[in-house]
Structure formats: C-alpha cells, structure tokens
Amino acid sequence: MKKLFFAVFLSFSVFALNAQTVDEVINRFIEANGGLSKLTSINSLQIESSMNIEQMGSTINVLTIKEKNKLFRIQSSSPMSSEESFTVITDTAGYTFVPAMNSPMGSMDASLTKFKEDELEASSYQKDCEGLFAPLVNYAAKGHTATLDGTEKINGIECDKVNLKLKSGQEMTFYISKANAQVRRLQVSAPIALDMMGMSAMRRSFGGGGERSSRMANRKIDIDYEKYKLFNGIPFPTKQSVSLGMMQLQLDNLSIKVNEPINARWYQVK
C-alpha cells in the first residue's frame, strides 16, 4: 500500500512540475520575441512582401502598414489591373477599394466600400503593432481571453496550442514551438486568413453574403510560418504559406521596417 501511495504521489509530482499555464507559454513567447518592453515600444510597422500563387503562375506585391492604434493598411497589385486594391482602417472608419479588372472570365468595375460598424470593430485588432502576432501581447488588457489546449506537432515540431478569443468574439489558435517559442502555425477563419495574406480587398469584394459568406466564416485555415530573421532586434517570419483547397499561397516578407515614420498619404482613401 505504501509503495502504491508513493507511486501515485510521484506521478502527481511529476505532472505538477511539467504542467504549465497559458500565461507561462505566452510569456515565454514574448521573451523569445524581444521581450515585452521592445514589443510594446513598436509604434509602426511597414512590411513589403511578395506573394506567389503557384496555380496562376503570378506574383503579387503586398504592402502592409500599421501605426499603433491608428492605422492598418494593406494593398496589393493584381495581374488583372494596372491599379492596386487596398483596405485601410483607422480609428474612425474602414474602406476597401477594388480597381476595375479585366480577365478571361469577364470584367468588373472599380468599387469603394465602407465598413459597417460591426466590421470595423471586428477589424480593430489589425491596428495592434506589437509584432506580427500582436494579439498575444498584453492580451488580457486588450479584452481577449486565452486558454491552453495541450500540445500538437506541426511539421514535426512539438508545439503548445494556445486558443485566443478576441474581444470581438473572433478566435485564433496559435501553435508555439516548445523548442524556441516561435509561432509555427496560426489557425483562423478563412476571412481572417485571406486578410492576413494580403487578399482583404478581393475577399470583401467577392465574398458576397448569405450562405456562401457564412460557409467561408466557419471554415478554418492554417497559416504556417518559417524562416525567422531579426529586424530591429525582433524575430519575424519571412515566409508564410497557406493552402486553400487546390490553391497554394506563399507570402515572402522581403522588407520589415520598425518604428519608421508613416507617410500621411497611407491614411487617404484613394
């Protein structure tokens, strides 16, 4: 009986030593990504990327601009238009612009669409500037909630699985490497994934409504992150990829500027 009691006690002791909280996992991620002080000192980000769409044999240039709690802008070129599409979100309004396009499947007139109030609220997290995975930083102060949901291997790497529910109700699942505390995968709804991959304007233009829009909102998409490099002392992934059925998207971050002045023209809707 004593031996049995000791074995049970030992098992619980080992479990207690190995157990961790969601805050411990997130804090380890924060420290591995420059530390809280450095991340919260980021006031602006400007990221130039190139997206390769294998099935279309085309490359799209993507520019992402953030100014802390003030601005989010993402715009991209298109093989079907001489103009760029863009989404711009400020603290007061949000707009999506899709230029006129011509393709073998038909043509489309240019359109500028203003966000509804609920869309603006749902997109507010995009103005966070604390790195590429800003919702994790000071998540509780932002009104988000986080839970730890065990571990899972992502491309052979053991990861902690952190479920984050945003203040707006949207959900994100981060897979954080146990080895180096870097995010290896982010699982989000299809609309958020397309927004993050630079296809926000297209998604809003073609997404439509009704049953089709509902199906897209409920579909989960995995974004994988690789090839981390230091920019201003902070590690950023330079490659992110996503599979959308038969379509493979790869976004390569070519340039990341931290805390450089933001040109006022990026606030303009034109």
User: DSSP string of 232-260?
Assistant: TTEEEEEEEEEEETTEEEEEEEEEEEESP
Q: Give the residue among 127, 119, 74, 137 at the shortest CA–CA distance from 209.
A: 119
Residue-wise burial string across 209-243, b where 16 or more C-beta atoms lie within 10 A, e elsewhere = eeeeeeebeeeebebbbeebeebeebbbbbebbbe
What pLDDT is recorded for position 128? 94
Q: Look at residue 195 in the predicted model and tell me its pLDDT.
A: 79
**Two tokens at 250?**
């790869």
Q: What is the pLDDT of residue 204?
A: 59
- Exposure string of 30-67, with b = 16+ CB inside 10 Å and e = fewer, is bebbbeeebbbbbbbbbbebebebeeeeeebebbbbbb
Please measure the distance between the N-terminal and C-terminal CA atoms of the chain and give it in whole angstroms: 78
- Residue 214: per-residue pLDDT: 54
The Cα-based distances of 183 to 5, 105, 254 in angstroms read 40, 39, 19
Instruction: Look at residue 265 and give its three-state secondary structure.
Output: helix
d(CA 226, CA 245): 21
- Residue 78 is predicted with a pLDDT of 78
Instruction: List, run by run, the mean pLDDT of 10-residue segments along the chain (270 residues).
Output: 46 46 98 96 96 72 95 86 88 90 70 91 92 96 97 96 96 97 95 76 54 63 95 94 78 95 93
| Cα angle 70, 76, 80; round to 5 | 150
Q: What is the pLDDT of residue 212?
A: 45
From CA 35, how far away is CA 264, in angstroms rounded? 30
Measured distance CA(256)–CA(230) in Å, rounded: 10
Domains of the chain: 31-267 (2.50.20)
